[in-house]
Amino acid sequence: MKNFVVKTIANAGALAVAIWLLPDITLSGGSTGRKILTLIVVALLFGLVNFVVKPIVKLLTLPLFILTLGLITLVINALMLLLTSWLAGQFNLSFHVHGFWTAVLGGLIISIVSWALNVVLPDED
């Protein structure tokens, strides 16, 4: 359970950094508390997408992983971020990613920040 909370906090922090750095990834809303709650829900959605959909996509694109020496991971991360943005829209959350290339850069930022936060934060159960 503690590992799940740490991963969610790391995802929320990584998403917050991407929102802060990229003007085309938006999180709108009223108060700061509402934005934080929305960010946590979006982080949960992002974690769910990465847990359920990403392994299936990676398995189906295994030949492309080999052919591109793993660079297809950037595209897959971007697609997972775009899927999270679409799901957030379905749940009336005020999170949106505008465009594929923004998603590629956002996915790269989220991967780096999430990795750094997972190194710093404790992860034992």
Please state, in angstroms and rounded to a whole number, the distance separating the CA atoms of residues 102 and 56: 23
Please state, in angstroms and rounded to a whole number, the distance separating the CA atoms of residues 34 and 31: 5
Q: For residue range 38-81, list pLDDT tens digits in order.
A: 999 999 999 999 889 988 998 998 998 899 888 898 999 999 99
Q: For residue range 16-29, list pLDDT tens digits in order.
A: 999 999 999 999 87
Least confident segment among 23-37, 39-53, 110-124: 110-124
Q: What is the DSSP letter of 78?
A: H
Looking at residue 7, its pLDDT comes to 83
pTM of the model: 0.88
Asked if residue 79 lies in contact with residue 97, where contact means CB atoms within 8 angstroms, the answer is no
Please state, in angstroms and rounded to a whole number, the distance separating the CA atoms of residues 84 and 115: 19
DSSP 3-state assignment of 25?
strand
